[in-house]
Amino acid sequence: MSWTEPILHVDMDSFFVEVERLRDPELKGRPVAVGGKGPRGVIASASYEARRLGVHSAQPSATALRLCPELEIVAPEHGRYREMSLTVFEVFRSFTPLVEGLSLDEAFLDVRGLRLHFDSTIDVAREIRQQIRSHLGLPASVGVASNKLLAKLASQEAKPDGVHHVPRSDELGFLHRLPADALWGVGPATLAGLERLGVESVGDIGAIPAAALAKALGPTLGHHLHELANARDERPVEPDGEAKSISVEETYDSDLTGVDVIETAMLSHAQKLSWRLHRAGLAAKTVTLKARYDDFTTITRSQTLSGGIDGAHDLFKVATSLLTQLDLRRPVRLLGLGATSLHPSDRPRQLDLGHDRAWDSLEDAIAEVKERFGEGSVAPARLVGRDADRAPGRRSSKSS
């Protein structure tokens, strides 16, 4: 398979609805929408069961209920969607740093860097879908193409819950049969103008000479549409700025119980997180602990320090102090440790009173060994035999 289509557009299917379904499994398999329930309420997201009956986003809730009287409308909880979105993007970034978010539930990914790890970009798309499905329980559709325009159109084609690949050889074939307003920049007014030229499909736009299009729509829009209609889109995937956080989390096959077990798991996280910070040359001023109990309630606790840290020993110390704010008698199904407020690690660092310089030297030595022999080459005694990557109880792990 070729690597000539390295751009992915990942679009979560009915994102808000699916997040609500995770919270309340009763909503599965039924027509459901997230939106306002009042007389002026509007649908924000509709399940595919509801869409089949004509319900769609931006529709007044009253209309939706007329079309589909058994429709269950759930009030939106944007905090929940934002939180889930962060996790989804963490999955994206575990594949490539080249992630450009468009909204909470869609992003472009440039995955050309994964050439050595996957046979094709379609396999990358499948793996991303698989990970989002198995870690988060959410469906996503992915478009795979040579540029952003085609990838985005392809993901619409892939919906629901699929992958659509537009090969280099069939770009125009795919594009030209789409309706004209599938292109960016074609709103109702432009569409009306195009219809006067007898345009219905993208192919019709492609057939109009560039000069004629420029005359009809103005030079800027004319040129823009001419390029798009010929499947030309040079815009690169622009990542959303520098890494704002680095985190490690893991969902366990069997719930963790007891302070000892949870602390050991946290030590493993601290090791991994420290290594990632070290590789990125960053230190963190804020450390965040995340835990999900067996009933799916999720708690995050964070601590901001006066100086940045990147050593596993320091991260573990903060993590254990944050653990004291948790109810460790309850079984825990997920544990995460994250670093934010990142800055270059060579900046001056405020030491704390418990600071033991011996740890610094030790961690420098460990980092050196890991650089040469790999991340798994050294581990604290407490983790030996547990080997993070083969431990029983492990279900999935990811990082970003």
Partner 1 sequence: MRIRAQRDDLADVLTRANRAVGTRTALPVLQGLLCEVSGTTLRVTGTDLDVTVRTQLEVEVMDEGRAVIPGKYLSEAVRKMPPGQVTIGVTDTDIEIEGNGPRFTLRPLTVDDFPTLEDVVADGVEVDGEDLADAINQVTIAASGDGARPILTGVLFETSDDGLRMVATDSYRLAKRDLPGVGLEGSGLVPARGLRELPRTIGAPKVSAQLREREAVFTSDRGSLRLRLIDGNFPKYQSLLPESYPNQVILDREELLEALGRVTLVAEDHIPVKLKLIEGGVEVAVSRQDVGAETEHLAGDYSGADDEVSIAFNPRYLQDGVSALSGDKVRIQVIDSYKPSVIDDGTDGDFLYLLMPVRV
Cα 252 to Cα 294: distance, rounded to the nearest angstrom: 10
Q: Choose, by CB under 8 A, the member of 329, 357, 372, 390 that binds partner 1.
A: 357
Cα 42 to Cα 23: distance, rounded to the nearest angstrom: 22
From 67-75, 101-109, 267-275, 353-361, span contacting partner 1 (CB under 8 A): 353-361
Q: Which is nearer to partner 1, 170 or 352 (CB)?
A: 352
Cα 52 to Cα 50: distance, rounded to the nearest angstrom: 5
Q: Which is nearer to partner 1, 341 or 396 (CB)?
A: 341
Catalytic residue among 18, 100, 106, 250: 106
Cα 76 to Cα 35: distance, rounded to the nearest angstrom: 6
Closest to 31 (Cα-Cα) out of 80, 74, 1: 74
Q: Show the binding pattern over residues 14-53: x = contacts partner 1 (CB under 8 A), - = does not.
A: ----------------------------------------
Which tokens hold the place of 107? 């992003």
Q: Choose, by CB under 8 A, the member of 169, 198, 234, 306 that binds partner 1.
A: 306
Cα 241 to Cα 398: distance, rounded to the nearest angstrom: 21
> Shortest distance, CB of residue 353 to partner 1, whole angstroms?
5
Q: Which is nearer to partner 1, 130 or 304 (CB)?
A: 304
> Shortest distance, CB of residue 307 to partner 1, whole angstroms?
7
Binding status of residue 358 toward partner 1 by CB under 8 A? no
Q: Among this protein's residues, is 106 annotated catalytic? A: yes
Cα 263 to Cα 275: distance, rounded to the nearest angstrom: 18
Let me know: does 387 contact 250? Beta carbons within 8 Å.
no
> Shortest distance, CB of residue 146 to partner 1, whole angstroms?
42
From 19-27, 241-249, 330-338, 351-359, span contacting partner 1 (CB under 8 A): 351-359
Binding status of residue 345 toward partner 1 by CB under 8 A? no
Cα 76 to Cα 160: distance, rounded to the nearest angstrom: 22
From 42-50, 243-251, 349-357, 384-392, span contacting partner 1 (CB under 8 A): 349-357
3-state SS assignment for residue 71: coil
Look at the alpha carbons of 119, 176, 222, 183 in this order and tell me if their dihedral is positive or negative: negative
81-100 residues near partner 1, rule: CB under 8 A: none
3-state SS assignment for residue 90: helix
From 160-168, 231-239, 297-305, 333-341, span contacting partner 1 (CB under 8 A): 297-305
- Residues 301-305: contacts with CB within 8 Å, 24+ apart? 301/325, 301/326, 302/340, 304/341, 305/350, 305/352
Q: Which is nearer to partner 1, 254 or 361 (CB)?
A: 361
**Residue in the block written with tokens 């109880």:** 393
DSSP strand pairing (140-145 vs 163-165): parallel
**Considering CB under 8 A, how many residues would be counted as binding partner 1?**
18
> Shortest distance, CB of residue 245 to partner 1, whole angstroms?
18
Q: Choose, by CB under 8 A, the member of 129, 226, 349, 370 that binds partner 1.
A: 349
Q: Known catalytic residues? A: 106
Name the residues that contact partner 1, by CB under 8 A. 301-304, 306-307, 321-322, 325, 348-355, 357
